[in-house]
Amino acid sequence: MTRVGFQGVPGAYSEQAIRQFFGPDVESIPFRTFDEIFVAVERGDADYGMQPVENAVAGSVASAYQLLTEHDLRIHAEVILRVRHMLMAMPGADLAGITTVRSHPQALAQCQRYLERHGFSAEPAFDTAGSARDLAASPQTGVAVIASELAAELYGLEILDRDIEDFAFNYTRFFILSTQDAPRAQRSKTSLIFTTPHQPGALYECMGEFAKRRINLTKIESRPRLNRPWQYIFYLDFEGHSKDPECEAAIMGLLRRSSFVKLLGSYPAATTPIPENGPILTG
């Protein structure tokens, strides 16, 4: 059976992403930190790792970029999960009797308008599924949590309200990490990390290697270099496979103009599912 590591406790959205990609016949292995996922895959304790990298509402997961820089794993695939927040409580609870809602701060922020509309008091907790697990273990009157439908199922909680997120386009993008390169796909995306010399026009010249070959960039973001204050590392996603002639030429050009390049992988590009209850941002 395929073993996939994720951060959090059973019922986390990362585990839901695992089931979405691999199906129900998969062994999900929880880890305390993201770093432990990378180590487990490197050691062979897990076949793959599920790493969140960005949310359409809350932005990037900063620690993911640092771990991708430090470890030598490959991006095997990407998964885009529609994050559907559920309000849940102990069986028999009534929505009118709820006064306090617990969850991860990001989940609370993504449901802020809903909480304010109902007059609920938000109480931050370590994570979403952990909030569900803890409430099931120590029931409290008037307390509900925000977590996934999977968490409600695992911990025997009753869903009081569904899809309470403020925006229908609430998606989280995950990388599936492996020690092996992904098989070639019909529609691919490539991710890499690079740094530039500290001189005028350096980033412009690096980006020009892709622009002059009409390669579409889907993401570029700068992150601080931890070992060099006030210098930055750039994270780049673009459409195409690193072995495509134009992409390969662009990467070779980037190697000539940059001071460091690390190819993270070429992998099948995921499709963003259309939300049932609202419009989707395009771009």
Catalytic residue among 31, 34, 174, 194: 174
Separation of alpha carbons 15 and 8, rounded Å: 9
Catalytic residue among 172, 190, 195, 196: 172
Task: Name residue 193's amino acid.
Answer: I
CB of 101 closer than 8 Å to CB of 86: no
Count CA atoms within 13 Å of residue 265 on its CB side. Answer: 24
Could you tell me where the beta strands, DSSP code E, fall in 61-200? 74-82, 86-89, 100-103, 121-124, 143-147, 158-161, 171-178, 188-195
User: What ranges make up the beta strands (E) of 37-169?
Assistant: 48-55, 59-60, 74-82, 86-89, 100-103, 121-124, 143-147, 158-161
Active site residue 172: yes
Beta strands in 65-106 (DSSP E): 74-82, 86-89, 100-103
Q: How far apart are CA 84 and CA 171, in angstroms?
A: 9
Distance CA(176)–CA(14), nearest Å, equals 11
Active site residue 6: no
Q: What is residue 22's three-state secondary structure?
A: helix
Catalytic residue positions?
Answer: 172, 174
